[in-house]
A and B are shown apart, each in its own frame.
Chain A
Amino acid sequence: MSQQLASTTGAPAAARRHRRRRDRLTAYLYLIPALMLVVGIVYFGVLYNLWVSTLDWNGISPNPAAVGPGNYLKIARDPIFWGALSHIAIFGAITIVVQMAVGLLLALVFNGPVVGRAVYKAIVFIPVVLAPAAVSTAFRQFLRPDGQVNDVLSALGLGAFQQAWVADPDVALYALAAVNIFQWTGFSFILYQAALSQIEQSHLEAAQIDGAGTWRTVRHIVVPQLRPTHLTLILTGVIGSLKTFDIVYLITGGGPGRSTEFLTTYIYKQSILQFHVGYGAALSIVMLLLALVLTVVQTHLYKLDREV
Chain B
Amino acid sequence: MFTRPTWRSRTLYQVLATVLVLPFLLPLLWIVAISFEGAGAVVNYTAVVTQTPFLSFVVNSLIISIGTVGLVFASTMLAGYALGKLHFHGRELIFTAILAGLMLPAVALVVPLFTIVKTLGLFNNYLAVILPLTAGLLPMTILLTRNFVKGIPDELLDAARIDGATSFGALTRIVIPLSRPIIAVVIVWAFLNSWNEFFLPLVFLQSTSMQVITQIPTYFTSTYGSDVPKIFAALVLMCLPIVIGYLSFQKFFERGLTAGAIK
Contact = CB atoms under 8 A, between A and B. Distances in A.
Interface of A: 12, 19-20, 22-24, 26-28, 30-31, 33-35, 37-46, 48-49, 52, 59, 102, 105-106, 108-110, 112-115, 117, 120, 122-134, 136-139, 141-142, 148, 152, 182, 185-187, 190-191, 194, 201, 204-205, 208, 214, 217, 232-233, 236, 239, 242-243, 245-246, 249-250, 264, 267-268, 271-272, 277, 280-281, 284-285, 287-288, 291-292, 295
A112 to B, nearest CB: 4
Q: Is the interface of A mostly helix, strand, loop or mixed?
A: helix
Interface of B: 1-3, 5, 9-10, 13-14, 16-18, 20-21, 23-28, 30-31, 34, 71, 74-76, 78-79, 81-83, 86-89, 91, 94, 97-98, 100-101, 103-105, 107-116, 131-132, 134-136, 138-139, 142, 161-162, 167-168, 192, 195-196, 198-199, 202-203, 213-215, 217-218, 228, 231-232, 235, 238-239, 242-243, 245-247, 250, 253-254, 257-258, 261-262
A247 to B, nearest CB: 10
Nearest to A279: B111
Given A24-B87, A33-B79, A142-B30, 17 more contacts: A23-B87, A33-B74, A37-B75, A40-B135, A42-B135, A109-B20, A113-B13, A114-B17, A138-B31, A148-B26, A187-B261, A205-B3, A208-B3, A214-B1, A246-B199, A267-B107, A291-B105
19 contacts: A19-B161, A30-B82, A31-B94, A37-B71, A42-B101, A52-B112, A109-B13, A112-B1, A112-B5, A113-B9, A125-B254, A131-B238, A138-B30, A205-B2, A214-B2, A268-B203, A287-B107, A288-B108, A291-B108
Contact of B27 (A26, A142, A190, A214): A142
A126 B246 contact: yes
Q: Which of A128, A185, A204 has the largest count of B CB atoms less than 10 A from its CB?
A: A128
A129 B253 contact: yes
Contacts of A43: 97, 101
Given A23-B86, A243-B105, A271 B110 contact: yes
A131 B131 CA distance: 20
Q: Is the interface of B mostly helix, strand, loop or mixed?
A: helix
Contacts of B257: 128-129, 187, 190
A185 B5 contact: no
Contact of B110 (A114, A128, A133, A280): A280
A129 B105 contact: no
A113 B21 contact: no
Contacts of B195: 131
Contact of A268 (B76, B86, B107): B107
B145 to A, nearest CB: 10
Given A131-B195, A137-B235, A34 B34 contact: no
B111 to A, nearest CB: 5
Contacts of A120: 17-18, 21
Contacts of B94: 31, 35
Contact of B243 (A59, A130, A249, A277): A130
B172 to A, nearest CB: 12
Contacts of B247: 122
A182 to B, nearest CB: 6
A182 B27 contact: yes
A272 B203 contact: yes
B21 A123 contact: yes
A130 B237 CA distance: 12
A162 B231 CA distance: 25
Contacts of B31: 138
Contacts of B112: 41, 44-46, 48-49, 52
B258 A191 contact: yes
A139 B238 contact: no
